[in-house]
Structures are given as structure tokens and as C-alpha cells.
């Protein structure tokens, strides 16, 4: 009991210290008079861990600034559809919105978000210790245009890595964590028995397949974002599709095509699946105390294909819609939500595992949080993000027509796994459909 009280006291003190630091760093005028007193902000983001945990801290922000925040976190699809409609009208219903990764190009190209450079340059608006350079370069690159204008402050990173929930079975078979695609095949085949699926994967094939595609030397488009000719029927793409679908079909669990990411996590935790390549966020729960694989799980970077290693990377960011009425107040919210202190509190107090600030990622607290079953997952996380930031291979994902191709990739994989078509036929059909859809979108091919 006393330890709980003392921990709570420490949390309160830490919170008070963070608020104090934030208040001190702000302009004297605001500290004195709360210039945003009475302002209402409508803030929305899809339902993800960071925005949800941020919600619990909102009373602190409201007390500090006098701003009232109306906050909602609908599901991913609903959020994107709703915001797409709202932004297209350049309406003023929202003051702060999430810039969704796969809609970056579409929403920024259309001029639906305001650049944040003026706020960042203005010392009265942004204290020096906000330190925009602390955000990992891979995340800022995604949220910037070619002229270097930044439109969103990234709050998360999602990086593909690998986990073997039943590493004990892997070692029993005389194998180790796969570092290449060929080794994935061996591990999946050797561990696919006794009620354990050798390979797991969720139904977001538009996210899970491209790292394999690029590993085989292919790409989604010829040279995104400048040349958007789809490349789904190349020899490399067909080989990658054949390999990826073979893993799902021959080593996946019953009904693998309908697996959502939570089902993958659940299968890992229940000991029903072994090897999986996924976003890190869905793999970490395998090491939770209530997981049957807590003692046997092992993590590794995303394996290399014949053409190299291309772990999938995604980020999302807070931005200000151009129609927002009080952008200065919107920025006040973003600055608070994305301060170093808040992100560190998210890690230490709420167990947040996808920070976007280097100082937080490299902190002892985060390293401790991501040391799972003696695996240094924090290191895998950082190195994966740096791999993504070191080249432009993720450019395919943020072009405005990717949602079309994303759906077509999903359908192509499903046709192959369910044996409706061969890999070659299915990818050719996907290519033809992609060309038709891109032309419809006005893309010159």
C-alpha cells in the first residue's frame, strides 16, 4: 500500500515538474493571463495508443491554458473517411487533426494542412527546448514537402520487425532467428506442427507484403513519387507474391486471410503461432506476463531478401487543418502534446512503446520498457527507423494513389492464398486494375 502511495506521489511530482517546465518555457504574457482562456478546440485522431493515453492528460492542459478540448478517437477507417470529407470542404470543424500516414500526399498535396514552420521559428510560439530536430528524421521527412515545409509533428513510429513466439521450437529444430527470407521458410516449415502455426500474418497485405516485394528487388511503383507506373506484375513482384502467399497458405492458421492484427497478437499470446513479421506494436504483447509465449518469444530485425532489407515504416502526426479558426491555439495543443516531457511521461507512466523523439527512444526508461525477455527491442526499433530514414524506399506508401493500390495488393494476395489464381495471374490482374484506377485518378502513366 505504501509503495503504491509513494509511486502515485512520485507520478504527481513528475507531472507537476513537467507542467512547471512547460509553464516556465512559455511566454510570460501567457503565464500571466492565459491568452487562450475560453477557447474551444476540436481535436481528433484515430484510436491509437498515444492519442488515447493523451486523453487522460487533457485536464492538465485545460487547467494550464484555459482551453477546452473536445477530443475524439474513432476507429481508423471511420476517422480517415470522416476527415477526408471534412478536409475536402476546407471546413473549420476541427482545430487539430491527425495526418494519417497513407493519406500524407493526398492531404498535403491538396493543401489541406497548414505548414508549421512559422510556429517553429517563432520563439514566442515555440520554446527552444521543444527541439524539433529531436524528432527522428524518418518521421519528419514523411511529414514535409519538397520545399522543406513541415506539416505535422509525428507522435508515433511503427516499424516492421520479426518475432518467433516459440523460439524453443526453432532451436529444437537446430535453427536460429531468420536473417534472410530463405531462413523464414525453414523456420516456418519446421515449427508448423502440434497446433502451432509456423507463420502468422494479418490481412493488411498492403502493409505486410511490400517489405517482401522490395526484398525481392521489386517495388509498388516504378519510382515514387515522380513515376507512379505500377510494378505489380514484374518478375520480382510475382516471385515475392508467390513466396509471401506460400508462407500464409502453407504455414498459416485456419482462416489466416481474415486475421486482423489483434488476432495475430492473440495467437502469439495464446501460443498458437510462431513466426511473424509485423509492426513492432503488435509483437511486443507476446512478452507480456499473461502471454503463454512470454518466456519463449524472441525478436529480430526484419529479415533480408535477395535485394536487401526493407522493414515497413509508418508514422502519424498532429497537424492543423487550413480551415482551423484559431491556429495559434491549435499549435498550443500540439506543442503541449508533443513536448519531450509529455512523450517521456507517456513511456514511463503509460508504457508507450512507439515514441518519435530520439531523446526518448534512447533514454534508459525506454530501453528498460523495450527489453523484452532479454531482447533489446529498443535497439531493433531505432535501427529499423534509421534504415527507413536512410533511403526513400517508403515513398511508395505516401503517394496520393496508394490507397487504390493498397486495396488491389490485398485482393491479389487473397486470390493467391485462396488458390483462385496463380501468383502470376493474380499480379497481372492487380497490375491491370492498378493502371485503370490510376488513370481514373488522373495520373499520367
With 0-12 / 13-18 / 19 or more C-beta atoms within 10 angstroms meaning exposed / middle / buried, residue 30 is: middle
Minimum distance, C-beta of residue 357 to other proteins, in the bound complex (Å): 31
Contact between 279 and other proteins (CB under 8 A)? Answer: no
Contact between 440 and other proteins (CB under 8 A)? Answer: yes
> What is the DSSP track for 74-89?
--HHHHHHHHHHHHHT
b/e sequence 262-290, b meaning 16+ C-beta within 10 Å? ebbbebbbebbbbbbbbbbbbbbbbbeee
Single out the segment in contact with other proteins by CB under 8 A; choices: 140-148, 155-163, 329-337, 396-404. 396-404
Minimum distance, C-beta of residue 327 to other proteins, in the bound complex (Å): 21
**Which of 132/432 has CB closer to other proteins?**
432
Using the Cα atoms of residue 228, residue 231, residue 236 and residue 237 in order, give the sign of their dihedral.
positive
Q: For residues 200 and 253, is the Cβ–Cβ distance under 8 A?
A: yes
Residues 69-128 within binding reach of other proteins (CB under 8 A): 81, 84-85, 87-88, 106, 109-110
Q: For residues 429 and 421, is the Cβ–Cβ distance under 8 A?
A: yes
**Which of 128/146 has CB closer to other proteins?**
146
Q: Which of 415, 427, 431, 443 binds other proteins (CB under 8 A)?
A: 415
Minimum distance, C-beta of residue 116 to other proteins, in the bound complex (Å): 21
Minimum distance, C-beta of residue 110 to other proteins, in the bound complex (Å): 4
Contact between 47 and other proteins (CB under 8 A)? Answer: no
Contact between 198 and other proteins (CB under 8 A)? Answer: no
SS3 of residue 43 by DSSP: strand
Contact between 410 and other proteins (CB under 8 A)? Answer: yes
The C-alpha cell that represents 299 in the structure block: 525478436
Beta strands (DSSP E) in 80-141 are 96-99
Can you tell me the distance from the alpha carbon of 326 to that of 71, in angstroms, rounded to the nearest whole number? 16
Q: Which of 34, 407, 422, 435 binds other proteins (CB under 8 A)?
A: 407
Residues 143-162 within binding reach of other proteins (CB under 8 A): none
Contact between 293 and other proteins (CB under 8 A)? Answer: no
Can you tell me the distance from the alpha carbon of 404 to that of 82, in angstroms, rounded to the nearest whole number? 18
Q: For residues 155 and 313, is the Cβ–Cβ distance under 8 A?
A: no
Contact between 23 and other proteins (CB under 8 A)? Answer: no
Q: Which of 238, 414, 431, 443 binds other proteins (CB under 8 A)?
A: 414
Q: For residues 180 and 304, is the Cβ–Cβ distance under 8 A?
A: yes
Residue whose C-alpha is closest to residue 279's, from 433, 64, 48: 48
Single out the segment in contact with other proteins by CB under 8 A; choices: 19-27, 32-40, 218-226, 404-412. 404-412
Report whether the peptide linkage leading into residue 225 is cis, meaning its omega lies within 30 degrees of zero.
Answer: yes
Contact between 215 and other proteins (CB under 8 A)? Answer: no
Minimum distance, C-beta of residue 396 to other proteins, in the bound complex (Å): 17
Q: How many residues bind other proteins (CB under 8 A)?
A: 40
Minimum distance, C-beta of residue 323 to other proteins, in the bound complex (Å): 13
Can you tell me the distance from the alpha carbon of 261 to that of 281, in angstroms, rounded to the nearest whole number? 10
Can you tell me the distance from the alpha carbon of 439 to that of 445, in angstroms, rounded to the nearest whole number? 7
Interface pattern 347-386 for other proteins (x via CB under 8 A): ----------------------------------------
Contact between 433 and other proteins (CB under 8 A)? Answer: yes
Beta strands (DSSP E) in 263-364 are 273-279, 298-301, 313-319
What residues does 305 pair with on adjacent strands?
Answer: 308
Contact between 445 and other proteins (CB under 8 A)? Answer: no
Single out the segment in contact with other proteins by CB under 8 A; choices: 120-128, 161-169, 185-193, 254-262. 254-262
Contact between 404 and other proteins (CB under 8 A)? Answer: yes
Contact between 176 and other proteins (CB under 8 A)? Answer: no
How many Cβ atoms sit within 10 Å of the Cβ of residue 133? 10
The footprint of other proteins (CB under 8 A) covers 81, 84-85, 87-88, 106, 109-110, 203, 253-258, 263, 266-267, 272, 400, 403-404, 407, 410-412, 414-415, 417-421, 426, 433, 436-437, 440-442
Amino acid at each position: 500500500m505504501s509503495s503504491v502511495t509513494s509511486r502515485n506521489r512520485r507520478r504527481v511530482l513528475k507531472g507537476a515538474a513537467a507542467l512547471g517546465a512547460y509553464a516556465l518555457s512559455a511566454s510570460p504574457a501567457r503565464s500571466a493571463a492565459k491568452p487562450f482562456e475560453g477557447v474551444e478546440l476540436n481535436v481528433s485522431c484515430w484510436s491509437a495508443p498515444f492519442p488515447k493515453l493523451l486523453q487522460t492528460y487533457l485536464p492538465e492542459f485545460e487547467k494550464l491554458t484555459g482551453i477546452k478540448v473536445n477530443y475524439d478517437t474513432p476507429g481508423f477507417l471511420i476517422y480517415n473517411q470522416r476527415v477526408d470529407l471534412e478536409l475536402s470542404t476546407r471546413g473549420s470543424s476541427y482545430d487539430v487533426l491527425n495526418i494519417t500516414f497513407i493519406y500524407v500526399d493526398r492531404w498535403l498535396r491538396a493543401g489541406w494542412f497548414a505548414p508549421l514552420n512559422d510556429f517553429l521559428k517563432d520563439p514566442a510560439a515555440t520554446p527552444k527546448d521543444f527541439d524539433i530536430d529531436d524528432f527522428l528524421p524518418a518521421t519528419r521527412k514523411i511529414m514535409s514537402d519538397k520545399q522543406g515545409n513541415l506539416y505535422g509533428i509525428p507522435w508515433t513510429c511503427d516499424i516492421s520487425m520479426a518475432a518467433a513466439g516459440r523460439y524453443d521450437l526453432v532451436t529444437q529444430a537446430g535453427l536460429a532467428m531468420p536473417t534472410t527470407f530463405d531462413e523464414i521458410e525453414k523456420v516456418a516449415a519446421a515449427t508448423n506442427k502440434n497446433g502451432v502455426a509456423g507463420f502468422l500474418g494479418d490481412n493488411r497485405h498492403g502493409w505486410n507484403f511490400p517489405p517482401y516485394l522490395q526484398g525481392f528487388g521489386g517495388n509498388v511503383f516504378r519510382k515514387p513519387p515522380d513515376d507512379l507506373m505500377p510494378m505489380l506484375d514484374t518478375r520480382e513482384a510475382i516471385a515475392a507474391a508467390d513466396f509471401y502467399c506460400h508462407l500464409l497458405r502453407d504455414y498459416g492458421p485456419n482462416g489466416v486471410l481474415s486475421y486482423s492484427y489483434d488476432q495475430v497478437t492473440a495467437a502469439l499470446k495464446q501460443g498458437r503461432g510462431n513466426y511473424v513479421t509485423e509492426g513492432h506494436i503488435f509483437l511486443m504483447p507476446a512478452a507480456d506476463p499473461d502471454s503463454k509465449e512470454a518466456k519463449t518469444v524472441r525478436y529480430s530485425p526484419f529479415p533480408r531478401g535477395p535485394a536487401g532489407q526493407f522493414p515497413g515504416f509508418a508514422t502519424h502526426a498532429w497537424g492543423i487543418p487550413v480551415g482551423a479558426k484559431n491556429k495559434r491555439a491549435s499549435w498550443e495543443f500540439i506543442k503541449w502534446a508533443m513536448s519531450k516531457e509529455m512523450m517521456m511521461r507517456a513511456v514511463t507512466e503509460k508504457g508507450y512503446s512507439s515514441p518519435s523523439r530520439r531523446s526518448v527512444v534512447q533514454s534508459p526508461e525506454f530501453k528498460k520498457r523495450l527489453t523484452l525477455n532479454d531482447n533489446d527491442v529498443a535497439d531493433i526499433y531505432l535501427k529499423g527507423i534509421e534504415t527507413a530514414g536512410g533511403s526513400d524506399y517508403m515513398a511508395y506508401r505516401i503517394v496520393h494513389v496508394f490507397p487504390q493500390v493498397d486495396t488491389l495488393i490485398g485482393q491479389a494476395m487473397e486470390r493467391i492464398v485462396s488458390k483462385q489464381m496463380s501468383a502470376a495471374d493474380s499480379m497481372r490482374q492487380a497490375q491491370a486494375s492498378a493502371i485503370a484506377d490510376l488513370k481514373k485518378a488522373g495520373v499520367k502513366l
